[in-house]
Amino acid sequence: MKCIMCKRGETKPGVTSVLLTRDDFTLVMRDVPAEICEVCGEDYIEGEVAKRLYNMAEEIQHQGTLIDVRRYQTTSEVSCPVEG
């Protein structure tokens, strides 16, 4: 896609870091999948990824955490315990 910011570059798949803050809570999420402009570096995060980030941030904040740094994992990368 054409970059909306610089209007010159095309975006390519990559990863970025996202900083989310609310009141005294701060979350840094690394390795978030994004489309990144090859000219200016502007990043664009898909709607479903952004929605998941916000949901994760809400959950982490409700646990009483003030500052957290995490690596983004897709749902297929998150392991679920096997009952047995």
Q: Flag whether 67 is in a domain.
A: yes
Which CATH number goes with the domain that contains 44?
Answer: 3.10.20
The DSSP bridge partners found for residue 2 are 10
User: β-pairing, 43-44 with 25-37?
Assistant: antiparallel
Distances in Å between the Cα of 55 and the Cα atoms of 20, 36, 70, 73, 84 are 12, 23, 14, 13, 29
Q: What pTM, to 2 d.p., does this model score?
A: 0.81
Residue 41 has pLDDT above 80, yes or no: yes
- Asked whether residue 20 is assigned to any structural domain, the reply reads yes
* Domain of 39, in residue numbers: 11-71
For the residues 13-25, what does the mean pLDDT come to? 96
Q: Is the Cβ–Cβ distance between 11 and 41 less than 8 Å?
A: no
Look at residue 80 and tell me if it is in a domain: no
The reply to whether 3 falls in a domain is no
Under the banding of pLDDT at 50, 70 and 90, the label for residue 83 is very low
Q: Please indicate, yes or no, if residue 63 is contained in any of the structural domains.
A: yes
Inform me whether the pLDDT recorded for 48 exceeds 80: yes
Q: How many domains does the chain have?
A: 1
